[in-house]
Structure 1
Amino acid sequence: MPARHVGLRGGTLSADITRARLRGLARNPALPAESLLRLAGDERIDRWDLTARAEWTDETFDALAAHPGPEIREALAQSAGATGRQRARLVGDLSIRVLHAVVEGPPSRWADPLPEWAYRRLAEHPEPVVRDMLTFVPGVPREVVALLARDPHRGIASAAQALLDRKPFEPTSMGRDEAVHFASALSPWNRAQAAADPELPAEQVAALARDPSPQVRLAVSMRPELTERQRTAIDYHIGPEDEVPVLDWVLAAGPAELEACARSAHAGLRRSAARHPGLPARLIAVLAADPDPAVRLLLCENQAAVPVDLLVRTYREAGPVTAGDLPRHPAFPRTDLARHASDPDWRARVLVRFDPTAPAGLIDRLSRDEHPSVRAGMADDPRLTTARVLELLADPATTGSAAANPGLPRPLMDRILAGEPV
């Protein structure tokens, strides 16, 4: 059975509450670097918990960057809260897995990019496997790719030159013969791969459009040569929560084709159109009014020029778990959010946390909200008094967020680290 501790109020402290507090403590900006290093050796939290803070001081980042465990440094290299300049300090790391994480970067679309000098240094790395990584990830400056095209390793030079010559997001094929072979496979996954292949003959495409597998029919319905009428004739389904592949041919679409995709009745095409790197303002406005919530979320996650009100509305609709990265968006508002404090939708009330002009009294009021997610959303706010932070720390629904509050007294941080009841 998990260990339990007697708390100061006579209750019990479960292992889950202890872990929640440790995870919150890892995000606490007031936690000293030496305490964060202590957490790095605690098996009750994982490395992603350890590196989940919203921002890093140079001292704290450097302390964890010197950790002997490569898995810790790997997670640090992908921390969305670290600046590109901070993550670039790991380009001299001796671990290949850490360097791969540096090249790959954080999963957040709006994370700070690496400086160009970091890419150049990686392109000059003595290990070919490191230089080769740069030919597989997006975002590498074209000048660095051109440098790799002159690499002494023939495979790296060839791959880099192919990137220079290739049109952006150019669809690739497994080859006609292989696609035909896959089209007759027993596994639906194989048939779905064939259904999306640009070299699959028309007669096989027509047969797969009637395939018993919904996955296969969906793949056929998103082929570029189909008309709207042909797509509609296929029995496919996309629900709000269903994942669909990103369509390279849509990402590479020119103006007329992109317009057709953005206005298509097919949600899969519209979802890919929302991610198009050259989406014009006219089509951003079209997709901002899309009935599919996934289209609107993808639009906010990928387009810098989305309307401010769409960002707020999408955050409200999706909630802080699904739309948690939107506050990093460069257009996400930092004022006028306090007006949501009395909104009947709890997801709107959570937005008040991001308004630096919201008075401390309002944050305190919302920390007592009927909905636990609103209380948790306020619990790490530095505008709360120490007394209120301690009350929230005692509440299982808010204890993790309260542990992330910079106003948490240092002695309590030490007791949480030591596994003692507080």
Structure 2
Amino acid sequence: MDGPGGALARAAADGDVVDGWLRGLAGNQVLPVEMLARLLKFNELPVPSFWLKYRPLDAAATELLVASPQIQHRLDVTENVTADVDVLARLVRDPEPRVRFVYAVMLFEYKRPIPAGVLEILAQDPEPKIRRIVGESEKPPVAVQEPPPVLTAEQRVTHPDPAVRTKAAADPEVPTVLALRLAEDPDNDVRLAVSMREEVTEEQRTAIPCEVWRQFWSPPPWIARQATDREAARRIARSAHVGLRRVLAAQPRLAPGVVALLAADEDEWVRRT
């Protein structure tokens, strides 16, 4: 036996394990922007980087991605609904035409507020297809659009757009009694989000039919908060819900007893992570 050090060295040499480590860190919704910046510099960071489209981004994280030398990072941030619109507007002068094009498309697709001068710059873009997007848009060239109406919790859980229902299903501000209505939603992502709510009981979780994707990029923040609590982490590690166990396995600084539970997990992804 060569001890934990040797086991760690072997794990670090395993490409799949490294992939799991990096994905777990990158998908951590409470990861500090400084750590995100370091992760983005890893050549080994898994590709594609589609997880950047879904993790919450504040202004600092948006700026980090907008300034990234990697074109894919800049493309991904344009599709993130939480990205800061003022910082994102810098992409209107991006040297890569693909980035400017996707930015223009998402500007109207997501009905984002339009900072002053953006439409005018896009309307004079060297690329005809970008100018065409602006010309065919029904949006008036004003500095900032009216904010969209705020939906009630009831409206969110009954919304026709599954993306809206998925966010409602995961939002702790939506009352549990309303969120549980989505346990039989036709969309798997909606049902999965409900099943991973913090207050849902084990019995309720196991009763919700859903598939946990192998690459899950919306880890509930409450798991990261509880990961440092030994007893809470043990409860999560013993959960019948493999999604909870996978998210927990990606958390740093787990207690040795919790690590032992996860190392013996029946799920290969949990054991490798």
Task: Please state which band the TM-score falls in when normalised by the shorter chain.
Answer: 0.5 to 0.7
Residue 311 of structure 1 and its aligned partner are, at CA, apart by 5.7
Q: Which amino acid aligns with 1:376?
A: R
Give a deviation string over 1:201-249, Cα, whole Å, max 9, x none. Answer: xxxxxxxxxxxxxxxxxxxxxxxxxxxxxxxxxxxxxxxxxxxxxxxxx
Give a deviation string over 1:344-370, Cα, whole Å, max 9, x none. Answer: 33668x9995769x9765554123224
Give a deviation string over 1:2-21, Cα, whole Å, max 9, x none. Answer: xxxx6339778632222122
Q: Which amino acid aligns with 2:100?
A: L
CA distance in 2, matches of 1:82, 1:67: 14
CA distance in 2, matches of 1:49, 1:300: 19
User: How many residues of Structure 1 are paired with residues of Structure 2 in the alignment?
Assistant: 226
Alignment of 1:120-139 (within 5 A): 120-127=119-126, 129=128, 130-135=130-135
Alignment of 1:39-58 (within 5 A): 39=42, 42-43=43-44, 45-49=46-50, 51-52=52-53, 54-58=55-59
Match of 2:3 in 1: none
Residue 98 of structure 1 and its aligned partner are, at CA, apart by 0.4
Give a deviation string over 1:112-156, Cα, whole Å, max 9, x none. Answer: x532226524444342522212356xxx563139xxxxxxxxxxx
CA distance in 2, matches of 1:311, 1:19: 36
Residue 117 of structure 1, aligned match among 115, 130, 137: 115
Residue 207 of structure 2, aligned match among 345, 348, 352: 345
CA distance in 2, matches of 1:298, 1:21: 36
Kindly, what percent of the aligned residue pairs are identical?
Answer: 18
Q: Which amino acid aligns with 2:270?
A: T
CA-based RMSD of the aligned residues comes to 4.9
Alignment of 1:179-328 (within 5 A): 298=160, 300-301=162-163, 308-309=178-179, 312-314=182-184, 318-319=187-188, 322-323=189-190
CA distance in 1, matches of 2:77, 2:48: 8
Alpha-carbon spacing, 1:46–1:375, altered in 2? closer, same or farther (3 Å): same
Gaps of 5+ in 2: 1-5, 143-154, 170-176, 213-217
Alpha-carbon spacing, 1:379–1:353, altered in 2? closer, same or farther (3 Å): farther
Alpha-carbon spacing, 1:99–1:18, altered in 2? closer, same or farther (3 Å): same
CA distance in 2, matches of 1:341, 1:352: 18
TM-score, normalised via structure 1 length = 0.41
Alpha-carbon spacing, 1:50–1:88, altered in 2? closer, same or farther (3 Å): same
CA distance in 2, matches of 1:81, 1:18: 28
Larger Rg: 1
TM-score, normalised via structure 2 length = 0.58
8 Å CA contact 1:77, 1:105 repeated in 2: yes
Gaps of 5+ in 1: 1-5, 146-283, 289-296, 403-422
